[in-house]
Structure 1
Amino acid sequence: MIGKEDKIYIAGHRGMVGSAIWRALENNGYKNLIGKTSKELDLRNQLAVQRFFDAEKPAIVIDAAARVGGILANSDYPYQFLMENLQIQNNLIDFSFKSGVNNFIFLGSSCIYPKMAPQPLKEEYLLTDSLESTNEWYAIAKITGVKACEAIRKQYGKNYISLMPTNLYGSYDNFDLKTSHVLPAMIRKFHDAKLNNNAPVILWGSGNPKREFLYVDDMAEAVVFALENKLSDSLYNVGTGVDISIKELAELIQIIVGHEGEINWDSSKPDGTPRKLMDVSKMTDAGWKSKITLEKGIRSTYEWFLEHKDSFKEVRVKSITKSDIS
């Protein structure tokens, strides 16, 4: 069992997921949390990571650090998405193991599963078919992390767990239109278009693909649950078990934001995977399930966006730019 005073290192603690995990741990009484910014610790640098573990000696490590992005970013920077994610996670996993860390949480993504896998996605579908080509570089890196944790668990009996969240969103999300995922990109686009006299919003694809979305505070609670409960396996999906079409998502966000213009779909652009719904029965059977509805989560996310919008560059254009569907 872990203790409230155990030193917990959260890699990526300034990001959307890492900051939510930090808040959740504090709210649950954990008092010895540590984090380093990328300027303080370059997780791609093997020697720097080794020195960090030698100095800090954390008892628990949560890997919420990664280079992330949508279709456009993955397509433009395949080498960086593959290599940098491998460097980050390999350094964290290896030095956690070598320094005696017994509890490690590795966070991945639903993109690790084959593009045409049966729905909903079960953990057992991993490596049964080919990946979605638009984000295979990121997916391959994450699959390697999952297998590394599984190998340590199998060979050495350490509690190394991989949690595969569905599409996450919430406070501290990325609202940059060139690198963001579909939900925050839509919030940004509808908001900017509303300010631009309710200009039409152009979105990629047909709107037909279906996606599942999990509010990041729910994800953080799943991490706390995984730390506090002995899970019997190494890989667990984390999601709501409910999906929605991209068209329905756009209409919901449009209502919440208050945009009154047209939505136009550019069908010449790729849709990505037709459907990605997670089978979350393993986590449900273990005793955890999500609590925050999609509408409530989007409203909270838009409220956060409005509070911090001055830090985002306003986009005042007649034709709204690209959207990514992860």
Structure 2
Amino acid sequence: MSDDLKDEIEALNSIYGDDTLRHAPPDNHVLTLPGGPGASSLTLRFADSYPDVPPEILGTHSAGENAPRGAGARDLLLFREAVAAVYQPGAVCLFDAVEEFSRRVEEVSEAEPSGPPTDPHSPPAASASTTRLDEEHGNQNRNQEADSLPSYMLEEPPWIVSDPFVELKSVFLARAAPVTSPEQAASYVQHLVATDKKVRSASHNMTAWRIRGPNGTSFQDCDDDGETAAGGRLLHLMQLMDLWDVMVVVTRWYGGQKLGPRRFALINSTARDAFVKAGWAEEAGQGKKKGHGK
């Protein structure tokens, strides 16, 4: 097993739960997809040359407890599509593939009809006027529900996600996004914590942002979230990179072994990776791309 695959297994199991990706002797692995007790699991095989070649998705290992008919086949197809979409030769892909799979499952679920099949013995359909009233009432309820949501839930943050960084079983993951105001930056953090249980269960969610305001004003802020000086170091990194109208959240899941000062290098490296993926910076030593810099 390559070091890349070992690190990827540690990262997935730290973020999604123990045994998310586990060895199935002699040559296979079982990947349990996100989704709780009813989640499907798939059988994968990794060549010795992975990640220079993609993983083989051999089939469905289990459709999950109380899963609807066809769920296993659907998840197998969606995960194969996800791997095909994110895989790049030489780069590990499972974390990105799992995230892409989750996005595709959500799209499919939203497109599926929510009502039960039509019963031939059911009463006649309602009149057009009754149906129209029901639709208007439903729209009104949805509008009321939207009005009752916290303001930070009304806008989906456009996160750009780094690769996971693993060190002694601690996992670091960064999310970066363009922002135009401190209020928007704060709402993005609230949205992330409210909607992602993996983030809520993390040891630290360290944040920093730099925003240009009107008439030459500017806003800069950071939050350590219990990791002393980490937020300030993120902000200093953004200052050195001359990034504006950008925020970053670095999440750490503690692996049980102290990293000492090394953790700050990992925090900044993870943030930089998100900035590079967003196109706001280039790899170290290559200079900064145009866009959110000066």
TM-score, L = length of structure 2: 0.30
TM-score, L = length of structure 1: 0.28
Q: Determine which structure has more spread, i.e. the larger CA radius of gyration.
A: 2
Which has the higher relative contact order, 1 or 2, with Cα contacts under 8 A spaced 6 or more apart? 1
Question: Which has the larger strand fraction?
Answer: 2
